[in-house]
Structure 1
């Protein structure tokens, strides 16, 4: 996914609709700002009367305003005495659930007084992710015994720290494969059970179900409940909402919080001595040099 916008006074609406969700991306020059900091002028008092209605419009429509990367403003007066952030992408929550790594970047301004904006999915590879345990794993039958057996069968020679490091590393890959087998694609598996239950219930409206079909209907209901609980537990833990009860069924809300956390924790660029540093390698080097200076 890659979109570009750079025309003054224009508004574009991209949408991807399905029977269950509506993914909307609204972009353009809104000729309004969300805060006083988004407008700078040499005049003593700059007009900010559009702040309240514009924020109300975004909140009432449950739109997500992504952080702007590359610069702070998107519109510049010819003599650079006034500047504002008038251009932006506004995304629906459903859009952010499908593409959680969306990023909007302001590029170099040409002849226009507006900067071109790019919306893309940030898939930068920052290296291996840390190993995390999911609370719901303990609810899956056979999980504890799998961990015990796998740990015992790992035979590694060397000194203590090396052995522990290698065992943990190999357990990480083993648990990843176990997760794919037992806990992956939970929404799809839940939907498959629901469809089977619907077929049997439709049949029961006309005919008497056999004992095998009744037993399968009861077991499918139990499986739906068990898988739904696992899916909610995973979403709850990944969202890190400790103030909500474990088992809350509002998975969509959990995913929305998780997507917002990812956007907030992502480091897309750094300001180093007045210069904007972008890219994985450049940002890593800037962070490394900063802490080297602190250490020295």
Structure 2
């Protein structure tokens, strides 16, 4: 761990003006990278020092740098900047046992879908009380029941991976020590060999779980170990943690109280459903009711494989693309993407009632053509885009 006033910054945003010594910044960054250090996220403030003058200069020169092993050893770490008091520096308060929420959330593990019995558990849990008629409340109840059932089934099926690894390691250690003083029996050799094979599977499963929680999608399978995924997940959790909130002049740090405040605020924003004073009598109008009970059932394989609109668009795109020569295919792709993007923006303008952005068909076509001409004049899209524009007469 390296902590204190280092009198240097790593990034330009760590100073409130543009008077930067970039050479020193590069040297400091090289020091951090060469020693494989990571900066702990600081809550509450952007800067830790000021020159206390009228033309104020503020920088973040007080920091805490740690190794990956240290961060994994203290996963519940929280760094906060306190009041400067009589100093020009803000003291840093580092806690290695931060009061993160102890309540565990439901996490859907991707490997569950490959285990036997997964579909059966979902089918049996996807039930709801008949007296719940509101569709949103029914969906909420269905998801909650399924989450509870999956969590219990996951514990019964795989159990606690870390505890199993620890137990296997302990037994292998005892057998290793016994092997130094005597010959192992065939049962002991079989147990030792079986535990080693089991350890490989458990380690792979643990890496899969940690990879999912880290949300790293750009790393290929096998290119990183479990420690990297754990470090990324811990860093995101520490950064997203809210140490305190101020509500009606009260500073709240208790986690349960913070959850209650957030719930109350969102309930006021969303409101509550009230009984309607006037209802439509469908029988009097003569409209027949529609039985929607089948919507509560599971999706069939045929329904899940029905082609959607984007499939038809992709088929058209590929068919039209094949008509053009290799030199102008990318230019054709650029035009198609520009038109799709313009249509998507018009869709959003109508959904969110942005009347000042809504265009009719001739105006939209003119806007797209004008934008493509500006791209061509600016040299965007490369020579193949310009070649396509020349081919179709878009000058």
Against the structure 1 CA distance between its residues 160 and 100, is the aligned structure 2 distance closer, same or farther, given a 3 Å change threshold? same
Ranked by relative contact order (alpha carbons within 8 Å, sequence separation 6 or more), the top structure is 1
What is the rounded CA distance, in whole Å, between the counterparts of 2:148 and 2:37 in structure 1?
A: 38
Q: CA deviation at 1:112?
A: 1.2
**CA distance in 2: counterparts of 1:230 and 1:94, whole angstroms:** 21
Matches within 5 A, 1:37-56: 37-40=13-16, 45=19, 47-56=21-30
**TM-score normalised according to structure 2 size:** 0.53
> In the alignment, does 2:5 pair up with 1:29?
yes
Unaligned runs of 5+ in 2: 246-250, 271-351, 354-395
State the TM-score, normalized to the length of structure 1: 0.68
Q: Is contact 1:232–1:247 with CA below 8 Å preserved after alignment? A: no
Question: Which structure features the higher share of helix residues?
Answer: 2
- Tell me which residue corresponds to 1:57: 31
When Rg is computed on C-alpha atoms for both structures, the one with the higher figure is 2
The 1:282/1:140 distance shift into structure 2, 3 A limit, reads: closer
Paired residues, number: 256
C-alpha distance in 2 between matches for 1:243 and 1:123: 32
Which residue number corresponds to residue 46 of structure 2?
A: 72
Map residues 18-167 of structure 1 onto 2, 5 A cutoff: 24=1, 26-40=2-16, 45=19, 47-80=21-54, 81-120=56-95, 122-123=98-99, 125=101, 129=105, 131-140=106-115, 142-148=117-123, 150-151=124-125, 156-158=129-131, 159=133, 161=135, 162-167=137-142
1:230 counterpart residue number? 205
Q: C-alpha deviations, 1:84-126, integer Å up to 9, x for none?
A: 2221122222232234453322222211111122223554559
For the residues of structure 2 that align with 1:203 and 1:124, how far apart are their CA atoms?
43
1:244 corresponds in structure 2 to 219
Q: Is the 8 A contact 1:203 1:209 kept in 2?
A: no
Which residue number in structure 2 is paired with residue 193 of structure 1? 168
Segment drifting more, 67-76 vs 241-250 = 241-250
The verdict on how the C-alpha distance between 1:126 and 1:216 changes in structure 2, with shifts beyond 3 A counting, is: closer
1:207 maps to 183
SS of 2:63 mapped into structure 1? strand
